[in-house]
Amino acid sequence: MLARASGATGDDPVLGQFLNFLASDMATHPEHLQSIDAGLRKRIKSLVKNAKVDLDAPLAAEGE
């Protein structure tokens, strides 16, 4: 079950720093980027094939 974190306001500074690091590393070292192979893609699809997600649904009230 997903629930909102209590007291969560604004952007997460640690997450922002991490995303900035990733963006910088990708720009500086594009040779490190690799695409996933067909086997891994097939495995991922098999793991999530029955998952139903509604990104527009509100979070559960009991977590608030």
Cα–Cα distance measured from residue 3 to residue 61, given in angstroms and rounded to the nearest whole number: 8
Greatest mean pLDDT among 8-12, 13-17, 37-41, 58-62: 37-41
Q: Which band of pLDDT confidence, cut at 50, 70 and 90, is reported for residue 8? A: low
Q: Are 4 and 60 in contact (CB under 8 A)?
A: no
Cβ-proximal residues to 36 (8 Å cutoff; 6+ apart), any chain: 44
pTM: 0.47
Q: Residue 25: pLDDT above 90?
A: yes
* pLDDT score of 62: 66
Q: Residue 60: pLDDT above 90?
A: no
| Element counts in the chain: helices (H) and strands (E) | 2, 0
* pLDDT score of 7: 62
